[in-house]
Amino acid sequence: MTARRSCPPAPGPLEDYAQRFDTLFSSLAQRRGFREYLRGLLLPRDRNKTLTGLAGAEPITGAQHREVQRLQWFLTESAWDHEVVNERRVRRLCEEPTTAPHDGGALVIDDTGDRKDGTATAHVARQYLGSVGKIDNGIVAVTSLWADERCYWPVHALPYTPAARLPGGERDPGFKTKPRLAVELVEAAQQAGIRFRAVVADCAYGDNPGFTDALTAADIPFVLALKPRKGTWAPADQAHTPTEAARELGWRNPSSPGRWRRVVRRFRDGHTETWWAADAQLSGWGPDRPLRLVIASTDPGRLPGHATWYLLTNLPRPTSRRAQQADLADIVCLYGLRNWVEQSYKQVKGELGWADFQVRSDRAIRRHWALVCCAFSFCWQAFLAEQPSAPESQAAPPAARGAQPTGHRRRTSQELLAGGAASSAGLADPMEHAATLLAVMVASTAAPAAATAA
């Protein structure tokens, strides 16, 4: 039996990370392609992360260069399993003490869309794209993300195929709604051994009876948002919407809050905000029912839309008064973790090229997403390895105790290469650590023999 040929190493700490996946690739070309693809994704973003961009070749004219063709073959034709690669990535995150999921975290379900031209690419159609806030031609992915008060990382992603792309439309056996895909993601997370306190999602899933019924039947705890004015059946003299239910909680002022309870949310920069939360009664939902309606707001008198949450949960209500207040704070904290999925979208799209692929097949698209998730996870593990004992005020994301994540300014390549480790600790920004790695990658041309190489 011949010995396995050694692979040219990736720069810096990326090589140690890549070696963990080597047993999943049967050839030297696959192992080298894996390293080169990740290296290209991690480079400073001065252009789209297309295949020519990943290889450092000129757009269009450099598409035929051997470095670009090698990445093309690795992504579209080479025989490797992206699901197995993702499984290995998730298992490694679960084994690392700094990123391991626990019972206090949340499994965040969401979907994201990106513009794509034409209809030849798999799953692309005219549909609602959350990233642009309207119906447009594009592709949508339903994703799951694990998050706690310190870190967050993607678990799985599934492409959504609109009914218009299937021969039988909505009656086609292959058609699955986004909530149905979300249920599959929750089941996949459980099969992967990922622990969490509750499934968290916005009103697109909280308002879907099929999704809530599936989680309830599986005895999976959840905290899901509802639309403020989503109507439900009730007697004429009772509340019919979450907003109306909130008005019946007896708020007068902070000194006379009625059934509202004070919740203090602590943010990463040290400041705090006083929120108010309460169990409300609406139709079949109530404090002593299997499903509870919890309302949280900064101002129960005005119920401002940007700072009021209407949450549906199946977490049981404690019996004692003090435990009930703590329980309300925990529910607000859990839903606050949902904001990390928005932060992760900014990073995988703004820095790692989630939507920059120029391939058409379903398998190639899924492979690209899996590799982006590998690059994202590498960034977290590299950062936490540099600062394993960072104090909570620095290392914990602002979702701690329900705080809102905040964005950060994108650095220039000069700033990145001049600095050391990240000063804004706790954010999985691929450009904010391993400056030596980036310096090596920028200094070396990916396609040195190409006349059109950058």
* Residue 191 reports pLDDT greater than 90: yes
* Residue 292 reports pLDDT greater than 80: yes
Domain boundaries, the chain: 13-86+360-443, 222-337
Q: Write a three-state SS string for the chain.
A: CCCCCCCCCCCCHHHHHHHCCHHHCCCHHHHHHHHHHHHHHHCCCCCCCCHHHHHCECCCCCCCCHHHHHHHHHHHCCCCCHHHHHHHHHHHHHHCCCCCCCCCCEEEEEEEEEECCCCCCCCCEEEEECCCCEEEEEEEEEEEEEECCCCEEEEEEEEECCHHHCCCHHHCCCCCCHHHHHHHHHHHHHHCCCCCCEEEECHHHHCCHHHHHHHHHCCCCEEEECCCCCCCCCCCCCCCCHHHHHHCCCCCECCECCCCEEEEEECCCCCEEEEEEEEECECCECCCCCCEEEEEECCCCCCCHHHEEEEEECCCCCCCHHHHHHHHHHHHHHHHCCHHHHHHHHHHHHCCCCCCCCCCCHHHHHHHHHHHHHHHHHHHHHHHHHCCCCCHHHHCCCCHHHCCCCCCCCCCHHHHHHCCCCCCCCCCCCCCCCHHHHHHHHHCCCCCCCCCEC
- Please write the tens of the pLDDT for every residue from 354-393: 999 999 999 999 999 999 999 999 998 888 877 755 434 3
Specify the range with the lowest mean pLDDT, choosing from 171-180, 198-207, 330-339, 408-417. 408-417
What local confidence, expressed as pLDDT, does residue 226 receive?
96
- Please write the tens of the pLDDT for every residue from 294-314: 999 999 999 999 999 999 999
What local confidence, expressed as pLDDT, does residue 247 receive?
94
Question: Between 239 and 394, where is the model more confident?
Answer: 239
What local confidence, expressed as pLDDT, does residue 389 receive?
53
What local confidence, expressed as pLDDT, does residue 63 receive?
82
Specify the range with the lowest mean pLDDT, choosing from 16-30, 239-253, 431-445. 431-445
Percent of the chain at pLDDT exceeding 90? 65
Question: Between 322 and 432, where is the model more confident?
Answer: 322
Confidence of residue 88 (pLDDT cuts 50, 70, 90): very high
Confidence of residue 402 (pLDDT cuts 50, 70, 90): very low
What local confidence, expressed as pLDDT, does residue 438 receive?
39
What local confidence, expressed as pLDDT, does residue 268 receive?
66
* Residue 79 reports pLDDT greater than 50: yes
Q: Give the integer Cα–Cα distance in Å for 352 and 368.
A: 11
Report residue 375 as tokens.
């690059």
pTM for this one? 0.85
Question: Between 67 and 108, where is the model more confident?
Answer: 108
Question: Between 319 and 194, where is the model more confident?
Answer: 194
- Please write the tens of the pLDDT for every residue from 4-27: 778 889 888 999 999 999 999 999
What local confidence, expressed as pLDDT, does residue 388 receive?
58
What local confidence, expressed as pLDDT, does residue 369 receive?
98
What residues form DSSP beta bridges with 137? 126
* Residue 430 reports pLDDT greater than 60: no
Specify the range with the lowest mean pLDDT, choosing from 80-89, 108-117, 165-174, 266-275. 266-275
What local confidence, expressed as pLDDT, does residue 368 receive?
97
* Residue 267 reports pLDDT greater than 80: no
Confidence of residue 439 (pLDDT cuts 50, 70, 90): very low
Specify the range with the lowest mean pLDDT, choosing from 123-127, 166-170, 413-417. 413-417
Average pLDDT over residues 76-98: 96
What local confidence, expressed as pLDDT, does residue 18 receive?
95
What local confidence, expressed as pLDDT, does residue 239 receive?
82
* Residue 411 reports pLDDT greater than 50: no
